[in-house]
Structure 1
Amino acid sequence: MPTVSDFVIGRVREWGVSRVFGFPGDGIGEFDGALEKAQREGDGLDYVRPTHEEICAFMATAHAKFTGEVGVCIATSSPGAFHMVNGLYDAKMDNQPVVAIVGQQGLNAFGTSNQQASHLERTMADVAVYVQTVVSPAQAQAVVDTAFRTARTQLGPAVIILPHDVQGMEFTTPEPENWVSRSSAVAPSTRIRPPEDDILRAAEIINAGEKVTFFVGHGANGATDEVLEAARRAGAGIITALRGKQVVPADVPYHTQQLGLLGSLPSYHQVKDCDTLVFLGTNYPYGQFLPPSGQARAIQIDLKPEQMGLRYPTELNLWGDVKSTLDALIPHLDVTTDLEWQDRVAAEMVDWEKEMTAQAMQTYDDGVNPRRVYHELNRRLPATAIVTADAGTTADWYGHHIRLQRGMMGDLSGRLASMLAAMPYAMAAKFAYSQRPVICTIGDGAFQMLGMNELITIKKYMAQWSNPQLIILVLHNNDLAQVSWEMRTEDANPVWSASQDVESVDYAGWAELLGFTGIRVHSDDEVEAAWDRAFATQGVTLIDAYTSPNVPPLPPHVTFEFAKNTGEALLKNDPRARDVIRDTAKAVLTEGVERVKDTLHIGNADDEGDAGR
């Protein structure tokens, strides 16, 4: 007779899952045994085991992001489940459907302080959109189905807790019985269209605007054509959130990429001057970069109603998926003949790209220019490339220099902004699309967390990939560079070497030890050849780029507080003050005259806080 574990595995398959990311342990041992039996009998799941449960959860989250499917991760009881929490928060904060299946000690151990027995429901209560312990076979069907259904509809992680003894209990299909729920493995529709009167109101607001800006996030994935058609009709400029880069192709001239510290000056100007702002599938968290209240009429379209009108006082909130909602909205949008706003946005973007190139071509005395590394990567991206970035300065350079074209993909840990996610993201992308080239960009601090370990996972599984090309770029600057800059710019504190220094490791040598190609880059004139060699290699390549930690991730608009805090920090015996001042001066001098004017507010006497600058 089938066990509860047998049933759960089959039910997971019914929900369309073919690959899971797991790590074993005695608390999940009976379930793992059933996984092995199912695999041996030809109806199992593709089981990927990285080196740590946290990586399992990140890979499940990344799988959901790249494929649109539910990601599934599996771990043992308390320690394994606890390790997964960070990756599950990534799913929660970036609105991704993930189901975690975790073990637990036997039912009789509940509340008795047994080894590895803990209150997992209480632990998971904050991160999970649904969490439930299966205490009997009759309950298993409804719990599994509810977990998947809730993960899909509420766009977050659900947790199924399987006590060890329940895993091995005999399973029979539930019959009509009091207290027993019988359920189905049928996915609910998430194609939601708002009412017609709301659609007409939205069209009225957009049609009335003269300077319309679309702010596009990852929630608009799959709606590229609809976004572009709506923008064409409205004469709108387009800004993408960092996780929305892949939604709008970079060659759309009035797409100005990101907004904020990792964004562009044209995006800043769009937000500063627009009279209508349309949020499409984004929960952009940096409200300080959005317009003053009342400047722009605003609409938000999203599947997460609790997040609508949260960052800016919107006039209209449409609960629906972006594609279906725009399908309904587009016929009601007037086709504008006045393209002055759109043309202005496009012209500014041409100038901005020239500046980004100039910044990338600048040379520094204390290491390779990291901007140059990303600039040359961007010039060589294959048509089907997938790029991942980490939460440090790699995110800055990814935002400033990577331009994803139609057909390319890219992602990172967004609202959680967790370090080390770039490696499990890259691996999950490779498992999902093994024929596509994947490029992981990561800092040395994040790589030392768990990324180095995952080269072992890559070695274990790469033979399964139809195209084994995977490139890992490590920014080797011996510093937690993003935090170093944040200490200066946010808190006016100098860098504290005891917390910030990263021990130098021969990362290329570690890759070579595992049989991969290692490339060391010590100067700017070696960058192009390194990328050419990496893309010519049909296998795994690690580029160990010895970059400067002092190249400033200058925002497109430097505020008075940003400049003041940085100056104060450098006066407090910052150990790298001389290098930072020199490198920042080079970066600023590279800027065009108009950028400097904007930064210094020349001619804007009424800008608060700038009178004495």
Structure 2
Amino acid sequence: MARTAGDILVDVLVDWGVDTIFGIPGDGINGIIEALRKRKDEIRFIQVRHEEAAAFAACGYAKFTGKLGVCIATSGPGGIHLLNGLYDAKLDHQPVLAITGLQYHDLVGTHTQQDVELDKLYQDVAVYNQRIMGAAHVRNIATLACRSALSYRGVAHITIPVDLQEQAAGDDMRAPRNVKGHNTALFAPELPVPSEAEMRRAVEILDAGKRIVIMAGQGALHATDQLERLAEKTGAVIVKALLGKAAVPDDSPYTTGQIGLLGTEPSQTALETCDTLLIAGSTFPYIEYYPKPDQARGVQIDIDPARIGLRYPVEAGLVGDCRLALDLLIDRVRPHEDRSFLERAQKGKAEWMRLMEERGTRQDMPMKPQVAAWELGKRLSDTAIVACDSGTIATWWARQIPVKRGQMHSLSGNLATMAPGLPYAIAAQVAYPDRQVVAYVGDGGFSMLMADFVTAVKYNLPIKIIINNNASLGQIKWEQMVMLGNPEYVCDLHPIDFAKVAEACGGKGFTIRDPKDCGAILDAALAHPGPVVVDCIVDTNEPPMPAKVQAKQAAHFAEALARGTPDALKIAATVFKDRAREVI
């Protein structure tokens, strides 16, 4: 039989090392699905229950493997549903290829069914975005799509009318200039090395610094040893942006943990008192947490030159891979004898960790959300992969679950969307079948895509879903109160028995209500050989307090209570009781 456009597309994917695609079949992609069926021994098709989950899974697959993540959806609504997950990939700079279908090529633009021109819709999200015009067009476009997604660490999108997917390919279809084989070579680009002039300037700045902070982000995830060696040589403190949680293990003597609203007090203190800031692979978006522009001299390492100086005015910009740049700095900077800045940070970290343990071991009823996170953190394996979600859950993940050397952790960083925790976990377990994979999520985020728990059951993926069930859109609730001083409104969620949902899907469900039972139930859940949901019923009135409460935030909080926030007395009592216990 003659080879089709769909067959050629799959050829290109195989050539580029694609081994997994997440998606849902549909009549707008039937030709591609048939081509995938014929190559099912080479590319796994993971069927999800919602296209948004497919895009999130492709993003998670890229995050956890470093390879090209691929998702596929049918024409019209299927392609539209991919968008949120694709924006997650765009904003966190992950290489993802989205494949969609269009209606019959000669009916596009005629108000036919599902007549959505997806290439136009994807103009903002994609670094490469093209419509395939026929079988002779496929190889060129698909090759450039894969190359662009990997080169620019972003989203590539290709869409093809359904009738053209089954078009037979032949050399006689080529245009005269479309010479066979002219655009098929794969590539292995060398990582850029910072310029000598910028390197000398960076060394001079670091040598002059007395109170150095290294801000480690997603770009430094593979430079753990280099970060610690540079910190040891310079007496620096390592603080971590959210996506850089796993850049350095939390038991490292050089790190004080996360920064920002979800961060730690010693990290914030280090940034407020440093005289030198080295930003390593991060464009942490919350500018208010950086040092004042005239307070600290700045050096930045980033593989993207457009991001140098984006958040903080730097005097030296090292364009290149973090690991390579840090190796060069380690060789050149002078040893710093004064360790007082680091020692103060270490003392602050010890005090902070005692506070985190106190919060994580409370026996109050209803159970505090920190308890489940603390108990989970103690039980994660050294090679665990943890996917988090957005909301108050991210606060407990950032503070209460320490990262170990060898683990991987991620969440939706810059998009900060709800719902990717479950699809990320599915992707991680597909990629690493022998590793422990846990999704630590909230009840609001999980319920958005919870039907995809059945995907884990279908493919026998032993993921563990730990749900922080506070019966609320908690982050929104506290933002309404603390950011604006408004009473909380429409944030309560109708309860769902998530353990029963898990059982209905064919998995295993557990429920935790009492902190005394938390550890034992988590042990049973983590030991179960199949997919599991653990429904942790926690205090809905426990606030995700910032490390340092600002006077304006406290005033807004009091104003919100006075203006009629539901359960105002209970909330006030909870906050007062928590703070009184910590002071005592």
SS in structure 2 of the partner of residue 586 of structure 1: helix
Letter in structure 1 aligned against 2:311: R
Partner of residue 597, structure 1: none
Kept after mapping to 2: 8 A contact 1:92/1:156: yes
Matched letter for residue 145 of structure 1: T
Q: AA paired with 1:460?
A: K
Deviation at 1:171, TM superposition (A): 2.5
- 1:278 aligns with 278
Alpha-carbon separation, structure 1, partners of 2:446 and 2:334: 50
Q: SS of 2:298's equivalent?
A: strand
CA shift, 1:110, in A, is 2.5
Q: Counterparts in 2 of 1:281-292, with a 5 A limit?
A: 281-292=281-292
CA RMSD after TM alignment = 1.6
SS at the partner of 1:278? strand
Give the corresponding residue for 2:509.
518
Aligned to 2:428: 429
- The separation in 2 between residues aligned to 1:30 and 1:322, in whole angstroms, is 42
Q: Which residue of 1 aligns with 2:486?
A: 493
How far is 1:178 from its partner?
A: 2.4
Among 504, 507, 524, the alignment partner of 1:533 is: 524
Q: CA deviation at 1:179?
A: 5.8
Map 1:328-339 → 2, pairs under 5 A: 328-339=328-339
Contact 1:138 1:180 in 2 (8 A): no
Deviations 1:176-204 (CA, angstroms, capped at 9, x unpaired): 93266831241341511111221121111
Kindly provide the amino acid, as one letter, of the partner of residue 449 in structure 1.
Answer: M
* Alignment partner of 1:509 is 2:506: no
Partner of 1:400: 399
Deviation digits for residues 336-390 of structure 1 (CA, Å, limit 9, x no counterpart): 222111122112111110011112233444x210001111111111111111111
Q: Which amino acid aligns with 1:394?
A: I
Deviations 1:31-81 (A, max 9, x none): 111111222xx4x31000110100000000000000000100011111111
Distance change >3 Å, CA 107–CA 512, structure 1 → 2 = closer
Question: Structure 1 stretches of 5 or more lacking a match?
Answer: 594-613
Check whether the contact 1:149–1:188 (CA below 8 A) recurs between aligned residues. Answer: no
Residue equivalent to 2:138 = 140
Partners of 1:590 and 1:284 in 2: CA distance: 33
Opposite residue 132 of structure 2, the aligned amino acid is V
Q: In 2, distance between residues paired with 1:298 and 1:190?
A: 27
Distance between the aligned counterparts of 1:587 and 1:254, measured in 2? 29
Could you tell me which residue of structure 1 aligns to residue 18 of structure 2?
17
Matched AA of 1:535: L
Q: Give the aligned residue type for 2:131.
A: T
Q: 1:556 aligns with which of 547, 556, 568?
A: 547
Per-residue deviation at 1:137? 2.5
Is the contact between residue 11 and residue 185 of structure 1 (CA under 8 Å) also seen in structure 2?
Answer: no
Name the CA distance, whole Å, in 1 between partners of 2:150 and 2:188. Answer: 8
Distance 1:68 1:591 in 2: 42
The alignment partner of 1:488 has SS state of helix
Distance 1:268 1:591 in 2: 19
| TM-score between both structures, scaled by the size of structure 1 | 0.92
2:466 is aligned with 1:473: yes
Q: Distance in 2 between matches of 1:28 and 1:180?
A: 28
1:74 corresponds to which residue? 72
Q: Which residue of 1 aligns with 2:535?
A: 544
Counterpart of 2:301, as a letter, is I
Partner secondary structure for residue 136 of structure 2? helix
User: Which residue is 1:607 aligned to?
Assistant: none
TM-fit CA distance, 1:172: 4.2
1:25-104 equivalent positions in 2, closer than 5 A? 25-39=26-40, 42=41, 44-104=42-102
**Does the C-alpha gap of structure 1 residues 190 and 243 become closer, same or farther in structure 2, counting only changes over 3 Å?**
farther
Q: Deviations over 1:422-455 (max 9, x none)?
A: 100111111111111111111111121112x012
Structure 2 runs not aligned, ≥5 long:
none
Alpha carbons of structure 1 residues 501 and 185: separation in structure 2 relative to 1, 3 Å = farther
Q: CA deviation at 1:529?
A: 1.3
Deviation at 1:568, TM superposition (A): 0.7
Distance 1:272 1:210, change over 3 A: same
Residue 310 of structure 1 aligns to a residue in which SS? coil
Change (3 A) 1:226 1:383: same
SS at match of 1:500: coil
Instruction: Tell me the distance in 2 between the aligned counterparts of 1:287 and 1:382.
Output: 34
Give aligned pairs, total: 581
Structure 2 counterpart of 1:189: 189
Q: Distance in 1 between matches of 2:109 and 2:175?
A: 32
Deviation, 1:248, is 0.6
Corresponding residue SS for 1:387: strand
Task: Give the alignment of 1:67-466 within 5 angstroms.
Answer: 67-172=65-170, 177-178=176-177, 182-189=182-189, 191-365=191-365, 367-451=366-450, 453-462=451-460
Q: Distance in 2 between matches of 1:212 and 1:314?
A: 14
Q: Secondary structure at the match of 2:82?
A: helix
CA distance in 1, matches of 2:48, 2:187: 29
**Which stretch shifts more, 510-519 or 3-12?**
510-519
2:35 aligned counterpart, secondary structure: helix
